[in-house]
Structure 1
Amino acid sequence: MATVTLKGNSINTLGELPKVGNQAPNFSLVKNDLSTASLDDYKGQKVVLNIFPSIDTGTCAQSVRQFNQEAAALENTKILCISKDLPFAQARFCGAEGLNEVETLSDFRDGNFGKAYNVTFVDGPLQGLHSRAVVVLNGKGEVVYNEQVGEIVDEPNYKAALVALMDA
């Protein structure tokens, strides 16, 4: 288990993020149109997995905005914003905010992404949701950077993720 905090109170995830140098686990997530996306769909592209509990919270929303802004300048890169929110809520948020450089994906159907990446909370008030984490993949689907954000209300280290992305 990995332990993080929510306003100073410890809560646990299923485990550690995929390790740098390892192949990223495949996934099956739901797109806004209710079709399915898998890691294989992004072969040959660099990928940022921006993982968070809910797009309806301030810090999560800010991470989507920030990555959307950063993504505009990136070539051959996809920013995937992943939560257990329903695809309708994800699409509504991005539409209202005018965010079109990121892709939102939902793990609401079976939670297998959260299990494969070990980000599912196993206790605490957010049990069943995903922790805040960033995983960066190169064009071969290998993990080149990961960050399990230690305090859920904190934003991820965007700069470190983007530096790893440029080096991938």
Structure 2
Amino acid sequence: MAKIKHLGATVNLTGTTINVGDKAPSVIAIGTDLNDVEIGGAKDKIQLIITVPSLDTDTCATETRRFNEDLNNLDICETTVVSMDLPFASERFCSTEGIANLTVVSDYINRDVSRAYGVLMEDGKIKGLSARAIFVIDRSGSVVYKEIVEEVTDEPNYEAALDAIKEAR
């Protein structure tokens, strides 16, 4: 079982452990329009799947804004940010923050994405939310990059994720 930290306290992650080289599971999340959005699996584009606890935190908001900006001129991948926020809150965040270069979805119903990718926080003060993680998936559906941020309040390695996307081209 993987472990991370939240404000220094150990948090266990639950779900299927996905590693580089594994096939990325195809999972359904809920879009801001309440429609199903399929992420993972093989697709025509490289996928960047970003899981965050909640867009209503400074770190998650900063990360989402940063990837939105960094991917503005990179039309080589399909980027999805997954949180446990309700779709209405996600829609409001995207509208307020001008998020247009990525898709924001919710995993609040069954937590299928978080379980399938092994990033569901099993205990701790923010139990039931997703850990901060990044998965880059090539067109064949294989995971080519993975980062689970050790301290959930820290930002990920943006440059490594962007380099992995460019390499997967």
TM-score (norm 1): 0.95
Aligned residue in 2 for 1:143: 143
Q: SS of the counterpart of 2:55?
A: coil
Q: What code does the residue aligned with 2:156 have? A: P
How far apart in 2 are the matches of 1:12 and 1:123? 6
Unmatched tracts of structure 1, length 5 or more: none
How far apart in 1 are the matches of 2:145 and 2:40? 19
- Deviation (angstroms), 1:40: 6.5
What CA deviation, in whole Å up to 9, does each residue of 1:67-120 have, x standing for no partner? 000111112311100011111111101100111111001111111111111111
How far apart in 2 are the matches of 1:22 and 1:41? 11
Q: What code does the residue aligned with 2:157 have? A: N
How far apart in 1 are the matches of 2:17 and 2:4? 13
How far apart in 2 are the matches of 1:146 and 1:114? 14
How far apart in 2 are the matches of 1:68 and 1:40? 19
Aligned residue in 2 for 1:159: 159
Structure 1 residues 40 and 157 mapped into 2: Cα distance closer, same or farther (>3 Å)?
A: closer
Q: SS of the counterpart of 1:13?
A: strand
Aligned residue in 2 for 1:122: 122
Structure 1 residues 117 and 41 mapped into 2: Cα distance closer, same or farther (>3 Å)?
A: closer
- Deviation (angstroms), 1:39: 2.6
The alignment's C-alpha RMSD in Å is 1.5
Identity %: 38
Q: SS of the counterpart of 1:165?
A: helix
Q: SS of the counterpart of 2:89?
A: helix
How far apart in 2 are the matches of 1:62 and 1:83? 14
Q: SS of the counterpart of 1:72?
A: coil
| Alignment check: 8 A CA contact 2:79 2:103 kept | yes
Matched, 1:32 2:36: no
- Deviation (angstroms), 1:43: 1.2
TM-score (norm 2): 0.95
Aligned residue in 2 for 1:7: 7
What CA deviation, in whole Å up to 9, does each residue of 1:19-73 have, x standing for no partner? 1111101101001110101137971111111101000000001110010001111
Structure 1 residues 35 and 116 mapped into 2: Cα distance closer, same or farther (>3 Å)?
A: same
Q: What code does the residue aligned with 1:166 have? A: K
Moved over 3 A (4+): none
Aligned residue in 2 for 1:65: 65
Unmatched tracts of structure 2, length 5 or more: none
Aligned residue in 1 for 2:94: 94
Q: How many residue pairs were aligned?
A: 168
